[in-house]
Amino acid sequence: MTLSTIWDRLDAQAGRVSARAIATLFHDRNRAAAFSVRFPGPSAAAAHGEEMLFDFSKTNIDEDTLELLIELAIAAGVQARRDAMFAGRRINETEGRAVLHTALRNPEGKVALDGQDVMEGVRETLLRMRGFAREVRGGGICGQGGPITDVVNIGIGGSDLGPAMACLALAPFHDGPRCHFISNVDGAHAADTLKDLDPETTLVIVASKTFTTIETMTNAETVRGWMAARVSDPGAQFAALSSALDRTADFGIAPERVFGFEDWVGGRYSMWGPIGLSLMIAIGPERFDDFLAGGAVMDAHFRSAPLRSNLPVLLALVGLWHAQVLGHATRAVLPYDQRLARLPAYLQQLEMESNGKSVTMSGQAVSRPTGPVVWGEPGTNGQHAFYQLIHQGTQVVPCEFLVAARGHEPELAHHHRLLLANVLAQSKALMEGRGLEAARAIAEKAGFVGDELDRQARHRVFPGNRPSTTLIYPQLTPRMLGQIVALYEHRVFTEGVILGINSFDQWGVELGKELAKSLEPLLAGGARPEALDGSTAQLLDFVAAAG
């Protein structure tokens, strides 16, 4: 079957299954097990407590649908493209680059690019990072005022979101200096972050793949100025993470403080290498190795598991079913894990920068909607904010719940029980809803009668039949986080291949950057071009008037 025939069949399938309530699918007592995957399977998992369970049974996907979705993946050539990625082929075709971030988490592996081994460089940089992190943590590398107490990572996008998300996620494992992140060019970010720090015991890491990003370079200059006011040799308290070694040298950072990576590591895929240095300093090289190992086991699974039990592939297929077939324009990521508070933001870049495209690899307009809008907040906070719309609004929002079976605070186990009860309740409520009869009974109990009873009851109806998936894991450890991040990376990859787009470029961020460059002089009183639109002119006037 051709791809377009399979899409057509999926559309027809959508028409058939949409009338059917998800809850009724559970008349099949085997449904939960049949529409779930355990990774890596109970026996293999025992050693590391690493088993995760992805349950997609609370969706309207049935066996026929799943079969078609798997045929879609096969027809789109997911397996061949995946193998090409791992083999170092230049699958980022618009930039002529290979996509080898997976090599960073498998340092003992073998990967060649155009016949050249890339692993020696990966191992060498990792060794240097470990040595540096150990010295910073152990006091071998000090600030002018003594041992390093605080690390400030200056970066944005992929040079910020990964380590910032992971540092928060792995807070129970921190035993190194405190980590802080400055990303926004808004001076408030630098000012508020530096306010409580001592320049004499702070290490600054400038993280930028290109070392040209205006936000990062502006913040780096500002922080260097802040340090220079108190420290005689600020350069000695700076390090850089970049693939532009000439520019790091121009900035004055000594080569032994620079950790480089190659152009085959995309920004949003870069936390596994030097961009992860702040995380490594916070949790130590051994736990950083566990994080890498988690990513590597997910890679091995993605490469070898049959599609029907392949976790990233299934996550992708469920996503495609909801966004591209059923037409749900957004996807909520709802971690019931406060320490994953930055995961939605991290996934926004990973998914929306990768798959927010309108043309196929060959430059033709796409025939289906591409990546959905990804958004979310941790539970249970979101329940008291936007869940109203999720339950009773007019748009269906497929929800992706994440939760750990165990927290890190045994003395607060009752909190965790409540957290778990809530996540289970939400997916059940979304699926089952509440009909008019039950709503009437509630309104009646509240004392309403007659027409008012009818009116009140209607407001208490939940349509239900709203899809969700749940990813549950024993506990959020470095290894588990590695598995989760790699799982989402490969999910995005698989979706991109099926949609026929290039998930590894990001031309859509360029226009705004160029315009910002041309508008900045106007804010400083420069002459306005004649063609300036009325709205922008009005906004500039407002700024000028506000002084």
Is the sign of the CA dihedral 132, 163, 476, 493 positive or negative? negative
CB 403 within 8 Å of CB 472: yes
Task: Pick out residues in 216-245 that bind ligand F6P (CB under 6 A).
Answer: 216
d(CA 510, CA 193): 28
Cβ-based nearer residue to ligand F6P, 212 or 364: 212
**328 near ligand F6P, rule: CB under 6 A:** no
From the list 55-63, 151-159, 222-230, 390-398, the region that binds ligand F6P by CB under 6 A is 151-159
Distance, CA of 295 to CA of 487 (rounded, Å) = 8
When the beta carbons of 158 and 260 are compared against ligand F6P, the nearer one is 158
Compute, in degrees rounded to 10, the torsion defined by CA atoms 279, 406, 294, 158. -40
Q: How far is the CB of 349 from ligand F6P (least distance, A)?
A: 7
Nearer to ligand F6P, 150 or 353 (CB): 353
Residue 2, C-beta contacts closer than 8 angstroms, at least 6 positions apart: 75
Q: Which residue has the tokens 């306010």?
A: 195
Q: CB under 6 A: which stretch of 6-14, 118-126, 205-213, 406-414 binds ligand F6P?
A: 205-213
Work out whether 213 is an interface residue with ligand F6P (CB under 6 A). Answer: yes
Pick the piece of the chain touching ligand F6P (CB under 6 A) from 43-51, 61-69, 173-181, 204-212: 204-212
> 248 or 465, CB closer to ligand F6P?
248
- Among positions 4-63, residues that touch ligand F6P (CB under 6 A) are none
370 vs 383, which CB is nearer to ligand F6P? 370
Q: Name which of 39 and 261 has its Cβ closer to ligand F6P.
A: 261
Q: Which of 40, 143, 158, 260 binds ligand F6P (CB under 6 A)?
A: 158
Is the distance from CB of 227 to CB of 190 less than 8 angstroms?
Answer: no
204 three-state secondary structure:
strand
**What is the Rg, in whole angstroms, of the alpha carbon atoms belonging to the chain?**
25
478-499 vs 161-169: helix axis angle to the nearest 10? 140
Rounded least distance, CB 252 to ligand F6P, Å: 18
Q: Which stretch binds ligand F6P (CB under 6 A): 29-37, 141-149, 202-210, 334-342?
A: 202-210
CB under 8 Å, gap of 24 or more: what pairs does 124-128 form?
125/259, 125/260, 125/261, 125/273, 125/274, 126/273, 128/259
User: From the CB of 159, what's the least distance to ligand F6P, in Å?
Assistant: 4
For 39, the token pair is: 């990774």
CB of 156 vs ligand F6P, minimal distance in Å: 5
Cite the DSSP H helix spans in 332-445.
343-347, 354-355, 387-392, 413-432, 436-445
- Could you say which of 82, 97, 137, 209 contacts ligand F6P (CB under 6 A)? 209
Which of these ranges, 14-22, 125-133, 210-218, 538-546, lies near ligand F6P under the rule CB under 6 A? 210-218
Considering only residues 398-457, where is the footprint of ligand F6P by CB under 6 A?
none
How far, in Å, CA of 542 to CA of 547, rounded? 9
User: Using an 8 Å Cβ cutoff, are 193 and 142 in contact?
Assistant: no
Q: Which amino acid is at 476?
A: L
User: How far is Cα 460 from Cα 473, in angstroms, rounded to an integer?
Assistant: 34
* Choices 82-90, 117-125, 157-165, 425-433; region in contact with ligand F6P by CB under 6 A: 157-165
* CB closer to ligand F6P out of 83 and 93: 93
Task: Give the end-to-end CA distance of the chain in Å, rounded to a whole number.
Answer: 65
Neighbours of 98 (CB within 10 A): 24
Tokens 């500002």 belong to residue: 222
Q: Which of residues 506-535 bind ligand F6P (CB under 6 A)?
A: 506, 509
Give the residue, chosen from 40, 88, 157, 177, that forms a contact with ligand F6P under the rule CB under 6 A: 157
Are the C-beta atoms of residues 121 and 269 closer than 8 Å to each other? Answer: no
Interface map 467-506 toward ligand F6P (x if CB under 6 A): ---------------------------------------x
Among 92, 153, 202, 208, binds ligand F6P (CB under 6 A): 208
Sign of the CA dihedral running 379, 381, 384, 390: negative
In this chain, which of 36, 79, 144, 210 binds ligand F6P, going by CB under 6 A? 210
Asked if 260 interacts with ligand F6P (CB under 6 A), we say: no
Q: Catalytic residue positions?
A: 353, 384, 513
Q: Which is nearer to ligand F6P, 311 or 501 (CB)?
A: 501
Binding residue (CB under 6 A) for ligand F6P from 267, 273, 376, 378? 267
Under rule CB under 6 A, which residues in 347-406 are in contact with ligand F6P?
353
Write out the DSSP string of 466-478: --EEEEEES---H
Query: Whole-angstrom Cα distance, residue 166 to residue 161?
Result: 8
Minimum Å distance from CB 118 to ligand F6P?
20
Binding residues with ligand F6P: total (CB under 6 A): 14
**CA 404-409-411 angle, 5° bins:** 130
Tokens of 277: 């240095």
Nearer to ligand F6P, 380 or 506 (CB): 506
- Interacting positions 166-195 with ligand F6P (CB under 6 A): none
* Gap between the Cα atoms of 107 and 292, Å rounded: 9
* Residue 245 or 453 having the CB closest to ligand F6P: 245
Considering only the stretches 11-19, 133-141, 207-215, 368-376, report the one whose residues sit in contact with ligand F6P under the rule CB under 6 A: 207-215
Q: Does 301 bind ligand F6P (CB under 6 A)?
A: no
Please name the residues in contact with 326: beta carbons below 8 A apart, sequence gap of 6 or more. Answer: 14, 18, 396
Strands 330-336 and 258-260: unpaired
Q: Which of 59, 106, 159, 426 binds ligand F6P (CB under 6 A)?
A: 159
In terms of CB distance, is 88 or 155 closer to ligand F6P? Answer: 155
Cβ atoms 500, 358 nearer than 8 A:
no
Under the rule (CB under 6 A), what is the footprint of ligand F6P? 156-159, 208-210, 213, 216, 267-268, 353, 506, 509
